[in-house]
Amino acid sequence: MLLQCTDIKKWYGAKPVLQDIDLTLVVGEIGVLLGPSGCGKTTLLRIIAGLTVPDNGRIHLDNQDITDQPVHQRSLGMVFQEYALFPHKNVLQNVAFGLRMLHWDQPAIEERVAQVLELVGLAGFGSRLIHELSGGEQQRVALARSLAPAPRLILLDEPLGALDRALRERLMLDLRQILKNAGNVLGRPEGMTAVYVTHDQAEAFAIADKIAVMNNGRIEQIGAPQTVYRQPATPFVARFLGMENIFEARLISQMPL
């Protein structure tokens, strides 16, 4: 397992925010935390990132216990809804920022920046200023900047939330392919392993290899997108996915397969 979260719990005062969370991802797997606002999905992402300390449980990354490890030592990439780009730097300088912090030499920086900009569909945009870009292009720059240092795991917190519907749908369709193809550029043939937070079911099913549906700080169901959709484990999951006709029933007999 590349990522293993075991028995994660978190309280804010007397209020439990996360309860009994177990989550695993294999190398190259895209896991989506799906649920309504306030269900705990961003808190779990922040715990994985090291921005929030769990009250119970352990986080392992590549068989290493990182629960108490500082953020900057975890080798993670992070993409947020607000882009968090430097407005006074151009695209190349924004994407190169993490590489400079890692003391890469200039030829290697220029080669990697060109590679990841092509990966996210922004080849030739290096000299553009941030304010000259659309919202979707800015989010692609933020994604390129996170991918450039080849992190072990990339975390995405509602990355399409600030975009209008048309831009969101276009980037949603591209994003899975970018993460899967990133391995060819970053020396990770299985593709990038990612944890993706969203409340949007369409996003989740377009991007995920594995979906964890969350409600009131718990994971109600976790599995492949097709399984979660076709076989919702609880009434909450069924209703959250838009299934209105839910009836109590008792299985009397079953046809042999």
Average pLDDT, the chain: 93
Q: What's the rounded mean pLDDT across residues 238-254?
A: 86
Does the structure show a pLDDT above 90 at 254?
A: no
Q: Are 35 and 215 in contact (CB under 8 A)?
A: yes
Residues 171-195: tens digit of each pLDDT: 888 999 999 999 888 888 888 999 9
Nearest in space to 215 (alpha carbons), one of 197, 237, 247, 195: 237
Q: What is the pLDDT of residue 251?
A: 82
pTM for the model: 0.93
Q: What is the pLDDT of residue 198?
A: 96
Enter the DSSP assignment of 146.
Answer: H
Does the structure show a pLDDT above 90 at 28?
A: yes
| Count of CB atoms situated within 10 Å of the CB of 14 | 5
163 vs 221, higher pLDDT: 221
Phi-psi region of 20 (alpha: psi -120 to 50; beta: other; left: phi over 0): left
Q: What's the rounded mean pLDDT across residues 188-210?
A: 94
Task: State what percent of residues in the chain have pLDDT above 90.
Answer: 81
Q: What's the rounded mean pLDDT across residues 108-133?
A: 96
Q: What is the pLDDT of residue 223?
A: 97
Q: What's the rounded mean pLDDT across residues 207-230?
A: 97
Residues 67-115: tens digit of each pLDDT: 999 999 999 999 988 878 999 999 999 999 999 999 999 999 999 999 9
Q: Which of 20-24, 53-57, 185-189 has the lowest mean pLDDT?
A: 185-189
Does the structure show a pLDDT above 90 at 5?
A: yes
Does the structure show a pLDDT above 90 at 116?
A: yes
Rounded Cα–Cα distance for residues 125 and 144 (Å): 12
Q: What is the pLDDT of residue 18?
A: 98
Q: In the chain, how many H helices and how many E strands? A: 8, 10
Q: What is the pLDDT of residue 165?
A: 82
